[in-house]
A and B are shown apart, each in its own frame.
Chain A
Amino acid sequence: MILEFIAMLVIFFVLGTAIAFLSRRYLGVGSKEFFVGGYRVGGFISAMTYAATTYSAFMMVGLAGLTFATGVASLGFELVYLAATILILSTVGVYMWYGARARGWVSPTDMLSDLYGSRALGIIVAILYLFALVPYTSAQLKGIGEVFNAVGISYEIGVLFGAIAIALWTVVAGLWSVATTDAFQGIWMIVGATAFFVWVLQFLLPSAGIDWNRFVDLLTRNQNLLSFTWSTQMFVGMTLPWIFFALTNPQVVQRIYIPKDERAYRRMVRYFSIYGLIYTLLCVVLGLAYRAYLEGVGMAGKFMGNRDAVAPYIISLSHPILASIVYVSIVAAAISTADSIVLSVASAVTRELYEKVAKNPRESTSKAFSYTSIAIIMVLATVFAIARIGYVAELSVASSAYLLPLAPITLAGIARKGLGRWRPIASLALGEAIATYATILYGPAKMLTTQIAFGAPTPLWILIASTIPLLL
């Protein structure tokens, strides 16, 4: 198994690195080229980088595990995200795409500070990105480490491999190397998931004597996992930050800027929609199949306390070559999300702390600033992952709540002119105050789903609090 995995990983890394270096031919001069590809990216690459960035290792491991433990409600949670994202891309996203090339936005902090005429807002949001997204990047590295661990290679080697691949594929040609390797990884992810889906349905379930009737029986025997099993607080608390993900997370906001023309933008939205629906259905059905199989062989109870271990265990039952393809697809999902985050956070830091501060920003200094930012983010994320600091994983869950105030700020900035410089900062301060209060009270892991007042979960209060200053 180890040999097959290493061979597949070498193929993956060599192909990815070759693609990254080949993409250098498209790279021009300046930060617009390095961070948003000079707004010249084609529709297919834009769609695949959007999909590979938004869908992380969470899908094949976390979502499948969540479905294993809580049933079909996980599908509603993931599909409401997809539906809301398509709405955002089809409406507000069009204006953001147009505004980026008309106003020269490179980072989402450029957009926010331009919409409100506030330099301070851009700097504050860049710092918020660093705080919220370094733990998220670290969680992706931890995911890669766990895959290596499951195969029998040390966790630390996995984290270091991930860090090297992310850093290399980011610095080679900026957005161009990130987007083209994302496309490669996005294809690997969906091919791996489809192949594994076919194996589970054709070989794994029949091997345990599970046909359709027994499948339904096993999923409804103890608790009806084909019905809605989540609490209202959990469903609302988990879905609210995801509904606005396309507006709050810089790595996906930045992808809206990159399509080269209207045709490319249209193709990005269309291909992403189809990819998202197929990938989500695959991961959720896999989660249901894992539960049916493990119930059938009397092993479901063993994984109840550690649902993230379900997918790696089932993958290990398949043929070593198929298992290696699927394990590498999880590594790909983690790398493609992490490198986009690193690039977008580096762009915000470079723009806000150097290019807008210097009187005559120089290309060489700007590049050095970008590389240094990428290196610092990667070193921090790697150290957190190797030290296995427990709260890093918890903070990565909470990061969506900390970024949530950016949703009303972005929407109001686009819809209403003349809101002034201080309203968005007040909005951000109020939203972050609620998020911090909930974190102190309930911890980062539970703050999303715990009700803090009048039966409503924290994300709803963050949204309300951060919207009020923008309406007054």
Chain B
Amino acid sequence: MRRLLTALYIALVALFYVPMSPAFSNLLYRANVMGLFIYWTALTAVCIVIGFVLLEKGLRGVARK
């Protein structure tokens, strides 16, 4: 579970780079003028939540040692 979450998190970090594609960033802009702003903020919020779950699992693992 922890490895899966870490892999998911790394995939989310990779998504920060998708707007380098003009097609994608234009699509976001057309959907909403602040689309790119909202996209990166929402992505960070999701990362924070998953990060907290990972942190809990990591600390539990350390406690067991």
Contacts and interface: CB of A to CB of B under 8 A. Distances in A.
Interface of A: 72-73, 75-76, 79-80, 82-84, 86-87, 89-91, 94-95, 97-98, 216, 220, 224, 226-228, 230, 232, 235-236, 239, 243, 262, 265-266, 269-270, 273-274, 277, 281, 284
Contacts of B36: 72-73, 75-76, 226-228
Given A79-B43, A86-B51, A220 B62 contact: no
A79 to B, nearest CB: 5
Contacts of A270: 52, 55
Contacts of A72: 36-37
A220 B37 CA distance: 14
Nearest to A85: B51
17 contacts: A73-B36, A75-B37, A80-B16, A82-B47, A83-B12, A87-B13, A90-B54, A91-B6, A91-B58, A94-B58, A94-B59, A97-B62, A227-B25, A227-B26, A228-B22, A266-B55, A269-B51
State which size class the interface on B falls in. 35 or more
A95 B62 contact: yes
Contacts of A243: 13
Contacts of A220: 33
A226 B52 contact: no
B32 to A, nearest CB: 9
Contacts of B20: 228, 230, 232, 235-236
**Which label, helix, strand, loop or mixed, suits the secondary structure of the A interface?**
helix
Contacts of A226: 29, 33-34, 36-37
Interface of B: 6, 9-10, 12-13, 16-17, 19-20, 22, 25-26, 29, 33-34, 36-37, 40-41, 43-45, 47-48, 51-52, 54-56, 58-59, 61-63, 65
B8 to A, nearest CB: 11
Contact of A86 (B48, B56, B59, B65): B48
